[in-house]
Amino acid sequence: MVVENSHLLEVELADEEATRSLGKALAARLQIGDLILLRGDLGAGKTALARAIVQAHLAAHGIAEDVPSPTFTLVQTYESPALLIAHADLYRIEGPEELRELGLAEFADEGVVLVEWPERAEAEIRRLSRDRLDITLTLMPEGRRGARLEGSGSWAARLGGLSL
C-alpha cells in the first residue's frame, strides 16, 4: 500500500556489501526527528542494515565505533557532532508500557531513532515522528535480500532522490 505523501522504492540486496551501500546512502540523508522502522523475519538483515546506517553516519564524522545488536540492552545510542542516534530492538518488549520506559520519544526530539521489530508497539512507535522511513527486509534465494522502503513526511522527497 502506498500512503499519501509517501514514496516507495524496492531494491535487491545481493550481498552484505549491497546492504552497507544502502546504509551509507540512507545515513547521508538522516535528519533530526527521523524515525526509521526496520521490519522482517529473523535473519532478514534488520540489524545489519541498522549497523550499516549507524557506522556510515559515524564514519562521515571521523568516528569508528562498534555497533552491537541492542537485543538485550533494548536501546544503544551513538553520537556524532551532527546527530544523536538511538538504535532500539523491541523484540523482547512485552507491551506499549515498556516502550515508554525506553525514552524513545526524547531520542526522537533530539536525533534519529532506528527501531527493529516496531510491530511490537506499532501505534506508539508511529506517533514518534511523521518523518518516517519504513523498511521491510525479506529473504530471497541464494542469500539475497529484498528491501522495500516507504518514506513518509520529509522522507518522501529524500527517498525519491536516493541512488544506489
pLDDT at residue 2 is higher than 60: no
Q: Which residues pair with 84 in a beta bridge?
A: 79
Per-residue pLDDT, averaged over 143-159, amounts to: 91
Phi, psi dihedral angles at 144 (to 5 degrees): -80, 160
Per-residue pLDDT, averaged over 125-139, amounts to: 91
Number of H helices, E strands in the chain: 6, 7
pLDDT in tens, 4-40: 345 888 999 999 999 999 999 999 999 999 999 999 9
Q: In terms of Cα–Cα distance, which of 83, 75, 19 is closest to 52? A: 19
The pTM of this model reads 0.90
Q: Which domains does the chain have, with CATH numbers?
A: 6-160 (3.40.50.300)
Amino acid at 91: Y
Q: In terms of Cα–Cα distance, which of 18, 55, 21 is closest to 142? A: 18
pLDDT at residue 1 is higher than 70: no
Q: Between 18 and 94, whose confidence is greater?
A: 18
Q: Please report the DSSP string for 63-128 in residue order.
A: --------TTTSEEEEE-SS-EEEEEE-TT--SHHHHHHHTHHHHHHHSEEEEESGGGGHHHHHTT
Q: How confident is the model at residue 82 (pLDDT cuts 50, 70, 90)?
A: very high
Q: How confident is the model at residue 146 (pLDDT cuts 50, 70, 90)?
A: very high
Nearest-angstrom CA–CA distance, 105 and 30: 17
Q: How confident is the model at residue 127 (pLDDT cuts 50, 70, 90)?
A: confident
Give the cell for residue 151.
Answer: 518514506
